[in-house]
Structure 1
């Protein structure tokens, strides 16, 4: 089956990048691969018991006793199934992809919130990124970066970045105008308005974006096992290839348990940010009324 003119254009574009910038892609791939390996080796060097204690204590601090018990049982179940090494590998990929998604996505969201034309362009681009089937991202990633963890991280970043961009823009745009007016009345610059009023009040929305980015990154990392990403996705893929229900179920259960732990923990930061945003939103109002009273 031959591709149409549009498909041929996309193919030629990827081939052009590969042939003319291959050295740059190789250098970037080596650097990113080193970062991911360092992260994976660092997490893997922590003994299971130490990681269990750390995560249970963290869950107790963030969500309480019930969730901390669930985290302990979930990690013990993963270890009992012999999937701890794969879980650490998947977690490293998710952390790396989420980090790069935030580094790129949050500034883009801020830019879009402050510039309507940029926001219009970003909206169209994000619609394209979110509706394109996830498997399609693997093709150019493999051509440009080969097989392994690096193309998996890059494809995951492209797939999982839209939520944090959208929700950062939305959060900043929803900051009440009277708060901005109060800040301007005290002589705040645009940078001060951004850092002291807009971002603190938009933090609940931004954290919701972080949460969704992590969940999408986890789902994409599993799909990326098809190009050698490893981790729990490779275990699930092995079950599919061998039609082994037991292996497939264990791998899927590991993904589900990891997803629930990550989801609830990141969600707790959003709840805290929401409470903090409410207190910040009252501060300018109190200051303004105090100044008027004086």
Structure 2
């Protein structure tokens, strides 16, 4: 297992906070990074496109100031998520802007990120790519990515079908670089479990939706607190790609979560309603199967504090 030099000594916990459509914003990213975990956001959250430069300027400036004020503190780098798909007409613009601001990490999704890798490597940045299976992992490695994010069953939003206990060892059989594990990771104990099975870092999204800084409606946060793992529905209806969503939001849109039609991947448009009039992420809320472990709405710093305490407790239990 390995950790890139960029991350060594700069993390309080081996965690990357997942980029969440609509939800992730500069307030959340800065709070996550200053708390000691990698904060991230989708480039498409900055709308219209000129807003992306404002976000990059603010995040870069505030994190630099935080490091200058506390040079010994583990203040993490940040990441920007790029959707590598024909429906993302902003991709070239956003990648160029990230290169100009020397964004430390770019997280790529959906298709092999050859052009993003070339741009990021031109200034020393890293690219971590989302994969759900062996085929996609090997294609991403051909593109030269610096790490693989294994989006396993139970992860919030778009997710694969395999358990992390299946996918991580299979990829470890041919890849010894950085692996970031995703899928129902909502506690410090789960972070340690991900490391135990072969991952270097854990990818956590849903738990950070229920934070003060997150750009999620109060009703969304309340629905997370009321939900359990059994309230997560896995479907491809809303974007054409399978993902996990809150049952209550599907019902609120007038749909039957137990009788959803199949989606159409050929009509996929990121952020669209796919094969449904209800719009993914805005009307239909993503969440992972670890949702039942969220007890209240806290600040991002409090969430990281809790994760750190849970992580330390899990290590002590195993040592005993």
TM-score, structure 1 as length reference: 0.24
Richer in helix (by share): 1
Richer in strand (by share): 2
